[in-house]
Amino acid sequence: MKKLLSVLILFTFFITACGQLQQSHYEGAGIGAAVGGVAGALLDKKNSWRGGVIGATLGAVFGATLADISQRGLKEAY
């Protein structure tokens, strides 16, 4: 569990160091965290807090990443 937490923290630092965040990144991360937290809490039957935290973390990373991909696509389209 400590290894997983360490990897998630390092991954978060690498993601935040990649560039400047825009409003859409924050919105994507927030929506992803909310959806991931609820899904993780519902799926982890033994410990809903653990599932919620892991789901929220992964959801925030995926949400911000999807927002970044869509922003880059918009810039390249024009």
* pLDDT by position in tens, the chain (length 78): 778 888 777 777 776 666 666 788 888 899 999 999 999 999 999 999 999 999 999 999 999 999 989 888 888 877
Output the pLDDT for position 16. 63
Are the C-beta atoms of residues 33 and 64 closer than 8 Å to each other?
no
In a domain, 6, yes or no: no
Overall domain count for the chain: 1
Output the pLDDT for position 15. 67
In a domain, 26, yes or no: yes
Place of tokens 């599932």: 51
In a domain, 2, yes or no: no
In a domain, 16, yes or no: no
d(CA 70, CA 23): 13
Q: Which of 16, 15, 30 is nearest to 63 (CA)?
A: 30
* Domain coverage including residue 35: 21-77
